[in-house]
Chain A
Amino acid sequence: MTSIGTGYDLSNSIFSPDGRNFQVEYAVKAVENGGTSVGIRCKDGVVLAVEKIVTSKLLKPGANKRIATVDRHLGVVCSSLFRFLSLRPSRPLTRPSPSQVYSGMLPDGRHFVDRARDEARSWRDNFKTPITTSDLASRMGNYLQAHTLYQSVRPFGITAIVGGFDAQEELPVDGQVGSGPSCGAGGKNPDKKYGGPFLYMIEPSGLYWGYYGAATGKGRQAAKAELEKLDLTGEGITLEEAVKEAARIIYVAHDDSKDKEFELEMSWISGRDGPTKGLHQEVPKALREEAERLAKKSLDDSDDEEEEKKEGDKMEE
């Protein structure tokens, strides 16, 4: 054992005397150094965006995607539920140090996605219907939590943002034939609405909450401050607005002094009557570039404003 530390951080499944699990806390620390990810739940869908820092000029632009699709509805007509996860690399189990920041836990993210796909598949096998976003978040939360209990494993070095659109219309049982009475099923409550867009964020401890706007990674503080300015809880914003806001927030949260180059990766999901027809898809190139252009413009404008203010102050003197 080295001279530093109390020895309570060498393993999972051992609490420190003041009731903490250091391994989990280190995992969280590690996540905090990854590129910024945000998720926005708007009134007609969900948008996910990630700041992908370019670690080498030899990497192919646009390759190595960080947002993955976990489930997609297989039918042609019905919509339903797709989910995407943005993953943030990091490095747990050792104390984070600056030199390790970019070594990354992308493989943890990959495994997380694999597991999420397994869960989605098994739900379909058992219940012949797509898994809901909340059920997936619950199952993945349990899975991450289990990795804080045993000596043989380390916690996940990721915080995952899970977004999905649960079917608002009624779905058939997979493989069923026929339909009910043409006058519709009796005894329904017509006022009640079901399904819609959902957003969850799962932390290395297994803790997860549902959010209107979620942010994690290096620029999370700035991103959260921007998210709070949006009207997400009341009237809500549209999907197109959310795409532009997400792009802007990633640009605002980006720290030029630390990382020069980054790529913006964005995906979105709408309901059946929206632009993605209930599918989880990458935001179209044209829309993304437009969003990036506006994001850069708004950054430039706010820089100008600050300069004007300074000049204004001078004038008053």
Chain B
Amino acid sequence: MEFGTSGCLSEDGIHVDMDRLKKGEVNLGTSIMAITFKDGVILGADSRTTTGAYIANRVTDKLTRVHDTIWCCRSGSAADTQAVADIVQYQLGLFHMMNGKPPTTQTAAAIFQEMCYANKDRLSAGLIIAGWDERHGGQVYSIPLGGSLHKQPYAIGGSGSTYIYGYCDANWKEGMEEADAVNFVKESLKEAIKWDGSSGGVIRMVVLTAKGADRHLYLPDTDYKVRHEN
């Protein structure tokens, strides 16, 4: 195992070491994003999982349910992010039963953040939490490597996101209709997949509204134009 001596932050004490995978660890090369829109939120992700240059899985599902209408996008170590999401899913399920009311997106974000921060020097997990609840509507929270918590109108993450900051900034509109919002996510991820070597495969989305969770799937075979059955 090759760990740096500086922990999570690099030696200047400011910049986070973005390359913290342990040797042989499966990396979610990844382009992920989540956006708010008129009726709720949409999460989107590519589907490539790599070990070095080898594509370990070309149809990965990086969008993970932690409660009925609270989901997360995972980037970083597949093992770490799955473990964290599993624990949060358990906690939220327990919360729902014990308190007789569903958890809010805030609750989920708070639990995620506490885990990511408390274990920051052992985890490589970059997460985006997005959810809909009756009281707060659609919300997007980003939890990057150090375990900080950012509430955002939309969030992008993973290695592929570096290529689409400009695209997203130029095309982002608040309060979009669902069709426009789906299109924004799709076009952004297409761009990320095009430029990022470690992103690729299919585009997956989850639309979270008062009506519940709705999954979308777009295949490269049809140039991501057709919505396929999951």
Contacts A127-B107, A187-B209 given; indicate if A181 touches B36 (C-beta within 8 A). Answer: yes
Residue contact B151 to A180, C-beta cutoff 8 Å: yes
Q: Taking the complex as formed, is A310 at the interface, i.e. its CB lies under 8 A from any CB of chain B?
A: no
Q: Taking the complex as formed, is B149 at the interface, i.e. its CB lies under 8 A from any CB of chain A?
A: yes
Which residues of chain A have C-beta atoms less than 8 A from B113's C-beta?
Answer: 128, 173, 175
Cβ distance B213 to chain A, nearest Cβ, rounded Å? 13
Cβ distance B58 to chain A, nearest Cβ, rounded Å? 33
Contacts A129-B106, A173-B110 given; indicate if A186 touches B152 (C-beta within 8 A). Answer: no
Residue contact A176 to B136, C-beta cutoff 8 Å: no
Residue contact B38 to A174, C-beta cutoff 8 Å: no
Cβ distance A78 to chain B, nearest Cβ, rounded Å? 13
Count chain B residues whose beta carbon lies closer than 8 angstroms to a beta carbon of A. 33
Interface stretch of the complex, out of A56-64, A188-196, A252-260: A188-196
Q: Taking the complex as formed, is B102 at the interface, i.e. its CB lies under 8 A from any CB of chain A?
A: no
Residue contact B151 to A179, C-beta cutoff 8 Å: yes
Cβ distance B37 to chain A, nearest Cβ, rounded Å? 6
Which residues of chain B have C-beta atoms less than 8 A from A171's C-beta?
Answer: 106
Q: B-side interface residues toward A, CB under 8 Å?
A: 36-41, 99, 106-107, 109-111, 113-114, 132, 134-141, 148-153, 174-175, 209-210
Which residues of chain A have C-beta atoms less than 8 A from B139's C-beta?
Answer: 180, 185
Contacts A127-B107, A127-B111, A178-B150 given; indicate if A187 touches B39 (C-beta within 8 A). Answer: yes
Residue contact B141 to A176, C-beta cutoff 8 Å: yes
Residue contact B99 to A135, C-beta cutoff 8 Å: yes
Residue contact A170 to B135, C-beta cutoff 8 Å: yes
Which residues of chain B have C-beta atoms less than 8 A from A175's C-beta?
Answer: 113, 149
Residue contact A180 to B134, C-beta cutoff 8 Å: no
Residue contact A187 to B210, C-beta cutoff 8 Å: yes
Q: Taking the complex as formed, is A126 at the interface, i.e. its CB lies under 8 A from any CB of chain B?
A: yes
Looking at chain B's contact residues, the main secondary structure is mixed
Which residues of chain A have C-beta atoms less than 8 A from B140's C-beta?
Answer: 180
Residue contact A178 to B137, C-beta cutoff 8 Å: no
Which of the residues A125, A135, A174, A177 comes within 8 Å of B150, measured between beta carbons? A177
Residue contact B136 to A173, C-beta cutoff 8 Å: no
Residue contact A180 to B153, C-beta cutoff 8 Å: yes
Which residues of chain A have C-beta atoms less than 8 A from B37's C-beta?
Answer: 186
Looking at chain A's contact residues, the main secondary structure is loop
Which of the residues A127, A128, A185 comes within 8 Å of B136, measured between beta carbons? A185
Cβ distance A258 to chain B, nearest Cβ, rounded Å? 43
Contacts A127-B111, A187-B209 given; indicate if A173 touches B137 (C-beta within 8 A). Answer: no
8 Å CB interface, A159-173 against B: 170-173
Which residues of chain B have C-beta atoms less than 8 A from A173's C-beta?
Answer: 106, 109-110, 113, 141, 149, 151
Could you list 20 examples of A-B contacts with CB < 8 Å? A127-B111, A128-B113, A129-B106, A129-B110, A171-B106, A172-B151, A173-B106, A173-B113, A174-B110, A176-B150, A176-B151, A177-B148, A177-B150, A177-B151, A180-B140, A184-B137, A186-B138, A186-B175, A187-B40, A187-B210
Q: How far is the CA of A177 from the CA of B109 in the complex (A)?
A: 12
Q: Taking the complex as formed, is A77 at the interface, i.e. its CB lies under 8 A from any CB of chain B?
A: no
Give 9 nearest A-B pairs by CB, closest first. Answer: A185-B137, A128-B110, A188-B137, A181-B153, A187-B40, A181-B174, A187-B39, A183-B174, A187-B137
Extra contacts, 16 of them, besides A129-B110, A186-B138, A187-B38 (Cβ < 8 A), are A125-B114, A126-B111, A128-B110, A128-B113, A172-B106, A173-B110, A173-B113, A176-B109, A176-B151, A183-B175, A185-B137, A186-B36, A186-B38, A186-B41, A187-B39, A192-B135
Q: Taking the complex as formed, is A182 at the interface, i.e. its CB lies under 8 A from any CB of chain B?
A: yes
Closest to A189 in B: B134
Which of the residues B110, B132, B151 comes within 8 Å of A127, measured between beta carbons? B110
Cβ distance B97 to chain A, nearest Cβ, rounded Å? 13
Residue contact A170 to B136, C-beta cutoff 8 Å: yes
By CB atoms of chain B within 10 A, which of A173, A176, A179, A194 has the most?
A173
Cβ distance A166 to chain B, nearest Cβ, rounded Å? 11
Which residues of chain B have C-beta atoms less than 8 A from A179's C-beta?
Answer: 151
Residue contact A126 to B174, C-beta cutoff 8 Å: no
Cβ distance B211 to chain A, nearest Cβ, rounded Å? 9
Q: How far is the CA of A104 from the CA of B140 in the complex (A)?
A: 52
Which residues of chain A have C-beta atoms less than 8 A from B137's C-beta?
Answer: 184-188
Closest to A176 in B: B149
Q: How far is the CA of A170 from the CA of B99 in the complex (A)?
A: 19
Cβ distance A192 to chain B, nearest Cβ, rounded Å? 7
Cβ distance B55 to chain A, nearest Cβ, rounded Å? 34
Cβ distance A116 to chain B, nearest Cβ, rounded Å? 17
Residue contact B110 to A126, C-beta cutoff 8 Å: yes
Closest to B208 in A: A187
Which of the residues A138, A177, A188 comes within 8 Å of B135, measured between beta carbons? A188
Cβ distance A133 to chain B, nearest Cβ, rounded Å? 13
